[in-house]
Amino acid sequence: MRSIYIAYLVSFMAFVLFLSLEAVMSSHLKLLMNDKAGVSIVNVCKTYSAGGRRAKVALDNVSVELHKGQITTLLGHNGAGKTTLTNILTGMLRPSSGHVVLRGGAGRVGACPQHDVLVECLTPREHITLYAQFSTGLTKQLMLSVLSLGAVSSEQVSRLSGGTRRRVCVALAFVAKPALVALDEPTAGVDPAARR
């Protein structure tokens, strides 16, 4: 059973966390290597169809420029489209129209989705070890240390508090030294000391 979970996790990680060149070249994500590093979100719209009811517009012509080294926070009420925009930015969701341009080699994306994707029977150390196989990024011990996960690194995820699980998810987003990191509610359930 554990090997099934590991196989699922590896295939899911390959899709979600590290955009393949094929995914980057899809209709709404474009990669420009000879340009200033950053991300352009251009006229992105997203509409969710609701069966027979009127469609819900989540995003309406959103355009944003993100530059290397910039930290950007999306603030808005529930249902404002923050998660939708984050999912489009990371390639997990296609916009109804518009596109995202990854400039200057920003093709590796780290993501911490709103809901964790942790495998209950694995430990934080095992999760980080699996994710680290995709890259020569940050060391496992450094990730465990930076996010204060050392003490629980050998505990199964199923035994961890919600805040600690969140910190594991954040660590996974950074393992491969991505050029772009999208964190959806990274401090949800995390105690004030760990939020720093």
Say if residue 56 is in the same domain as residue 90.
yes
Tell me: do 62 and 92 sit in the same domain: yes
Q: Is 27 found in the same domain as 71?
A: yes
Report how many domains make up the chain. 2
Q: Is 22 a residue whose pLDDT tops 50?
A: no
Per residue, the 3-state secondary structure of 67-96, as one string, reads: ECCCCCCCCCCCCCCHHHHHHHHCCCCCCC
pTM greater than the 0.85 cutoff: no
Is the same domain home to 125 and 75? no
Contacts of 106 (CB under 8 A, 6+ apart): 31, 37, 38, 39, 68, 179, 180
Q: Which domain holds residue 92?
A: 21-106
pLDDT above 60 for 35? no
For residue 66, what is the domain's CATH number? 3.40.50.300
Q: Tell me, yes or no, whether 118 and 165 share the same domain.
A: yes
Residue pLDDT, tens place only, 159-168: 988 888 888 8
**Of 69-83, 91-105, 118-132, 141-155, the least confident:** 141-155
In terms of domains, do 2 and 25 share one?
no
Q: Check whether 8 has a pLDDT greater than 50.
A: no
Task: Output the six-digit token pair for 162.
Answer: 């919600």
The C-alpha atoms of residue 38 and residue 117 are separated, in whole angstroms, by: 27
Q: Give the residue with greater pLDDT, 104 vs 89.
A: 89
